[in-house]
């Protein structure tokens, strides 16, 4: 529990810096003359690099340890925040997103760390706690970012970078290695069989989509596509329809983040005990789909807030349960790599989502991305109906 607490603290501070910057990005880009569709590519550039790096981070952590991977990722994020703070052109904003995406590939490593230090029966709860820690960063970060903006254009990036430096020092001192040398995969598994390459594991998700881990990976990725499509255009929608600015955007992010924290820290464990991970995943997909479809309907801030609250409730049920199921059904010796592949597919979704969503927002209307996102997550709900409550026997899935 102590190791998990330290990991949660590190994840919280890392997400705090990220959340300080992300809501401001569209406003910074618009001030530098970017079109809305270009903002979509800017958001996607983070995910492209995360997509490229996530499986490699996972394999690196399997071989050389989780701790080193996490520390390097934190340092990369700090460098990206500094570039953001001093950006004077659209291309510098792109550079900050690219560098941060390289560090963002360690999400799968964090999940593998949780799997290392928890029992299988407690894994969904622990992943929920980790998500609650990051959700708390999402809740507080925008408020700090908007406050820092009052002190100058560069201040949010400088503060976020300083937080990364503090986080590295904290993790260096207090975060122990969870994957000791005797358990690391190396070039072969315990039976002396060569480990599959990252590419072959990713191709297997395409070639054998009905395998347990592959199906769950697709559920995670398609669900992320719907969710991130909404996230990519939310600030633009709020600015255009409700007059939100750089100094007021934090109110919505604090609210949504707060609902997510309550769900993941206080309610998720009870829901897992009551429904089980498979049912909880299905419930999450249904709630998230309903929330996304309903966002364009309200014309007042209060009713919009009620609708937006469904989104963090749905994601708090869907994504931790899916990640926990993947960790249960993955080969233990390739756990970091498997979680990295999951994050890579999530990264594909994060690449596609902002590109199509901002394009649809600009050309088809402000409401269109939300309706399409809701239908995408409804498809995820159908996919979850094919997931077994218990994994298939090995002979059956071979």
- Residue 385 CA to residue 317 CA, distance in Å, equals 15
- Residue 357 CA to residue 376 CA, distance in Å, equals 12
At residue 180, the pLDDT reads 65
CATH number for 2-174+198-391 (one of 1.20.1250.20, 3.40.50.300, 3.40.50.970, 3.40.50.1980): it is 1.20.1250.20
Please list the pLDDT of the chain residue by residue as tens digits (398 residues): 667 887 888 888 878 888 888 888 888 998 888 888 888 888 888 878 877 777 777 777 777 778 888 888 888 989 999 999 999 999 999 999 899 888 776 777 887 788 788 877 777 778 778 877 887 887 788 889 988 998 998 999 999 999 989 888 888 888 887 776 656 554 444 444 455 666 677 788 888 878 888 899 999 999 999 999 998 899 899 988 998 887 788 888 888 888 988 888 888 888 988 998 999 999 999 999 999 999 999 989 889 999 999 999 999 999 989 988 888 877 766 776 787 788 778 878 888 998 999 999 999 999 999 999 999 999 999 999 988 876 554 433 33
**Dihedral of CA 141/268/352/290: which sign?**
negative
Beta strands per DSSP E along the chain: none
- Write the CB contacts of 13 (distance below 8 Å, at least 6 apart in sequence): 137, 163, 164, 166, 167, 170
Q: For the whole model, what pTM was predicted?
A: 0.70
Whether the Cβ atoms of residue 132 and residue 258 lie closer than 8 Å to each other: no
Distances (CA, A) of 202 to 50, 54, 112, 194, 386: 15, 11, 17, 16, 21
At residue 381, the pLDDT reads 94
At residue 391, the pLDDT reads 57
- Whose CA is closest to 353, among 139, 104, 42, 97? 42
At residue 395, the pLDDT reads 39
Give the three-state DSSP class for 202. Answer: helix
At residue 396, the pLDDT reads 37
- Whose CA is closest to 103, among 161, 62, 143? 161
Domain spans in the chain, listed from the N-terminal domain onward: 2-174+198-391
Tokens of 375: 């239908």
At residue 158, the pLDDT reads 94
Tokens of 259: 């609902």
């Amino acid at each position: 529990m102590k190791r998990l607490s330290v990991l949660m603290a590190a994840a919280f501070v890392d997400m705090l810096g990220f959340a300080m910057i992300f809501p401001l990005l569209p406003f910074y880009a618009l001030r530098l003359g970017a079109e809305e569709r270009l903002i979509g590519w800017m958001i996607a550039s983070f995910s492209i690099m995360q997509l490229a790096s996530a499986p490699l981070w996972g394999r690196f952590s399997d071989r050389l340890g989780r701790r080193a991977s996490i520390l390097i990722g934190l340092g990369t994020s700090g460098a990206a925040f500094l570039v953001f703070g001093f950006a004077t052109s659209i291309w510098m904003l792109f550079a900050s997103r690219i560098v941060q995406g390289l560090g963002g590939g360690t999400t799968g490593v964090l999940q593998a760390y949780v799997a290392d230090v928890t029992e299988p029966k407690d894994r969904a709860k622990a992943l929920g706690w980790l998500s609650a820690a990051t959700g708390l960063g999402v809740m507080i970060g925008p408020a700090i970012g908007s406050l820092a903006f009052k002190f100058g254009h560069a201040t949010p990036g400088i503060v976020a970078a300083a937080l990364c430096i503090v986080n590295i020092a904290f993790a260096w001192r207090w975060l122990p290695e969870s994957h000791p040398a005797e358990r690391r995969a190396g070039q072969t598994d315990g039976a002396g069989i060569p480990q599959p390459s990252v590419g072959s594991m990713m191709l297997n998700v395409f070639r054998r989509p009905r395998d347990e881990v592959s199906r769950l990976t697709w559920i995670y990725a398609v669900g992320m596509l719907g969710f991130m499509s909404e996230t990519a255009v939310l600030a633009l929608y709020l600015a255009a329809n409700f007059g939100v600015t750089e100094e007021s955007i934090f109110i919505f992010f604090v609210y949504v983040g707060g609902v997510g924290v309550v769900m993941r820290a206080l309610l998720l464990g009870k829901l897992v005990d009551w429904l089980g991970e498979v049912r909880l995943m299905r419930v999450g997909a249904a709630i998230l789909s309903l929330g996304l479809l309903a966002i364009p309907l309200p014309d007042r801030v209060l009713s919009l807030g009620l609708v937006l609250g469904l989104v963090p409730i749905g994601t708090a049920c869907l994504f931790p349960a899916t990640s926990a199921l993947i960790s249960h059904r993955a080969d233990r010796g390739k756990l970091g790599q498997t979680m990295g592949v999951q994050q890579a597919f999530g990264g594909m979704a994060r690449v596609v989502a902002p590109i199509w969503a901002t394009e649809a927002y600009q050309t088809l209307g402000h409401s269109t991305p939300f309706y399409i996102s809701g239908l995408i997550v409804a498809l995820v709900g159908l996919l979850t109906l094919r997931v077994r409550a218990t994994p298939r026997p090995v002979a059956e899935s071979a």
